[in-house]
Amino acid sequence: MSASRIAARVQRIKPSPSSAAADRAAELRRQGKHIVNLVVGEPDFDTPAHIRKAAFDAMERGETRYTATAGTPALRAAIAAKLQRENGLPYDPKDIIVTCGAKHAIFNALAITVEAGDEVLIPAPYWVSYPDMALACDGVPVVVPCTEEDGFKLTPALLEAAITSRTRWLIINSPTNPTGATYTGRELRALADVLLRHPNVLVMMDDIYEHIRFDSDATPHLLAIEPALASRTLVVNGVSKTYAMTGWRIGYVAGPADLIAALDTLQSQSTSNACTISQAAALAALTGDQTFVQESVQTYRARRDRALESLNAIPGISCKTPGGAFYLYVNCSGLIGRTTPQGERLEGDTDVVLYLLEQAGVALVAGSAYGVSPFFRMSIATSIDVIDEGCRKIADAVAALD
Ligand code: PMP
């Protein structure tokens, strides 16, 4: 028997670093320190009223019992309609499963497919959960670093070089957390051409930020560009970010029948259906008035522009304009090697973030958490006032460096 009663698959993983930074900020706040929180990974808006009301009405109607594991027929039909309407993807509702958030969807997708030693290609900077999820499923996360010059995007050459006979998955997240990188149709076409040469590679499209994008032209979906990939692609999405519904825990996956059936089997023996009341709310989100989506994106855009202007005026740090999501991935290479008023040398972005937290009271996440340094992630899912205060304090703390 092993010395620890915790299984190796859990010993291999660590809690999400975004939460660790948030925890440290919360601890300082508990000690009475004023902390400007620029860590948050969720919309700061309330869920729109018509969505909340749909949940209330569902409860009143008695929709409080189990549904089919894959979700209510109405919600699956609404998701199929959304995928057709917005993405041009022809899915049958039976090829869709509703999950307890996109995170749950991605985890289960890896769990049903990854054998020990299978490789999961993860372009970096990446969402912090991907590598640990791969590890938890006995896989090998293969991080593919992407450069700021390439817009933090995977190039066909990088993809081709990373694929081996053990590659099981490629995960693409566009717009990307943490960089806001947004793939164009032409870039997706070029990646599709590489993928067509490697028929055993499965593709996970994490579309969770699809609506939070700032350029006017909607990018065609990878599968609209190359329908031949549909037989080995899972389209992962959810209502968390688009409709400010992070706490409701509704995500979904569309894909080929065998993968959806396996997801259904695993989910039926683990979590069962996603929350029934939340499913009713998600149905209202997808089928109801979409004004909130446009309005919130306008708000994010104004915040992005304001934060970019302030940050790019600070000597030693710089930030490229993100195409979507609600984060800025800020280059802090000009601060590395500088000395704090306490006489400590900033060796990397973890030091920078710690300095900005302790000295300026501004909570951020170090780029090391996302696989590409030296950067830090700033969330703009907060008010302009908070963003202004944060940028001002960062500027002061940077000015205090030697
Ligand atoms: N993918 C990415 C890239 C994310 O940033 C998040 C949330 N932080 C998720 C998936 C998960 O979203 P949820 O589980 O709330 O649907």
Residue matched to tokens 């304001």: 306
Cβ atoms 148, 318 nearer than 8 A: no
pLDDT at 14: 83
How many whole angstroms separate alpha carbon 57 and alpha carbon 304?
36
393 and 301 share one domain: yes
Using the mean position of ligand 1's atoms as its centre, give its distance from the Cα of residue 301 in Å. 20
**Secondary structure element (H or E) that encloses residue 22, with its range:** helix 17-30
194 and 310 share one domain: no
How many whole angstroms separate alpha carbon 315 and alpha carbon 337?
14
Using the mean position of ligand 1's atoms as its centre, give its distance from the Cα of residue 103 in Å. 5
DSSP-derived secondary structure letter, 294: H
Q: Which of 174, 234, 240 to mutate to test the pocket of ligand 1 (most atoms within 8 A of CB)?
A: 240
Atom of ligand 1 nearest to the CA of 104: 14
Pocket of ligand 1 contains residue 251 by CB under 6 Å: yes
34 and 98 share one domain: no
Query: Domain end: 287, 313, 330, which one?
Result: 287
Rg for the chain, CA atoms, rounded: 21
**What are the pLDDT digits (tens) for 232-260?**
999 999 999 999 999 999 999 999 999 99
Kindly state whether residue 126 falls inside one of the protein's structural domains.
Answer: yes
Total domains, the chain: 2
Using the mean position of ligand 1's atoms as its centre, give its distance from the Cα of residue 102 in Å. 6
Pocket of ligand 1 contains residue 101 by CB under 6 Å: yes
User: Where are the strands (E) in 246-397, listed by range?
Assistant: 251-254, 327-331, 362-363, 365-366, 375-379
Pocket of ligand 1 contains residue 238 by CB under 6 Å: yes
DSSP-derived secondary structure letter, 353: H
Cβ atoms 144, 157 nearer than 8 A: no
276 and 384 share one domain: no
Kindly state whether residue 1 falls inside one of the protein's structural domains.
Answer: no
Kindly state whether residue 264 falls inside one of the protein's structural domains.
Answer: yes
pLDDT at 181: 96
Q: Does residue 199 have a cis peptide bond before it, meaning omega lies within 30 degrees of 0?
A: no
Residues in contact with 63: Cβ distance below 8 Å, sequence separation at least 6, in sequence order: 276, 277, 280
Kindly state whether residue 122 falls inside one of the protein's structural domains.
Answer: yes
Nearest to 365 by CA among 392, 391, 325, 328: 328
Nearest to 356 by CA among 306, 310, 400, 297: 400
Kindly state whether residue 371 falls inside one of the protein's structural domains.
Answer: yes
pLDDT at 315: 97
Range of the domain at 159: 63-287
- List the structure tokens of 219: 């990018």
Count CA within 13 A, CB hemisphere, residue 373.
15
Domain CATH for 389: 3.90.1150.10
pLDDT at 26: 83
Q: Which of 100, 241, 379 to mutate to test the pocket of ligand 1 (most atoms within 8 A of CB)?
A: 241
**What are the pLDDT digits (tens) for 156-202?**
999 999 999 999 999 999 999 999 999 999 999 999 999 999 999 99
pLDDT at 157: 98
> What's at 232, amino acid-wise?
R
Atom of ligand 1 nearest to the CA of 246: 15
Q: Which residues pair with 96 in a beta bridge?
A: 254
How many whole angstroms separate alpha carbon 209 and alpha carbon 223?
17
Query: Domain end: 256, 287, 318, which one?
Result: 287
Pocket of ligand 1 contains residue 377 by CB under 6 Å: no
| Residue minimizing CA distance to atom 5 of ligand 1 | 177
Residue 77 backbone dihedrals phi, psi, to 5 degrees: -65, -40
pLDDT at 19: 57
Inter-CA distances, 151 with 80, 119, 145, 146, 154, Å: 32, 24, 11, 8, 9
| Residue minimizing CA distance to atom 8 of ligand 1 | 41
Cβ atoms within 10 Å of 93's Cβ, excluding its own:
17
Q: With a cut of 50, which residues of the chain have pLDDT below it?
A: none
Atom of ligand 1 nearest to the CA of 325: 5
Pocket of ligand 1 contains residue 205 by CB under 6 Å: no
Q: Which of 176, 208, 237, 243 to mutate to test the pocket of ligand 1 (most atoms within 8 A of CB)?
A: 208
Inter-CA distances, 312 with 114, 151, 326, 396, 399, Å: 42, 17, 17, 14, 14
How many whole angstroms separate alpha carbon 93 and alpha carbon 97?
8
Kindly state whether residue 58 falls inside one of the protein's structural domains.
Answer: no
Query: Domain end: 287, 305, 334, which one?
Result: 287
35 and 115 share one domain: no
> What's at 362, amino acid-wise?
V
Using the mean position of ligand 1's atoms as its centre, give its distance from the Cα of residue 106 in Å. 9
Kindly state whether residue 56 falls inside one of the protein's structural domains.
Answer: no
Cβ atoms within 10 Å of 255's Cβ, excluding its own:
27
Pocket of ligand 1 contains residue 177 by CB under 6 Å: yes
Using the mean position of ligand 1's atoms as its centre, give its distance from the Cα of residue 342 in Å. 38
Using the mean position of ligand 1's atoms as its centre, give its distance from the Cα of residue 208 in Å. 6
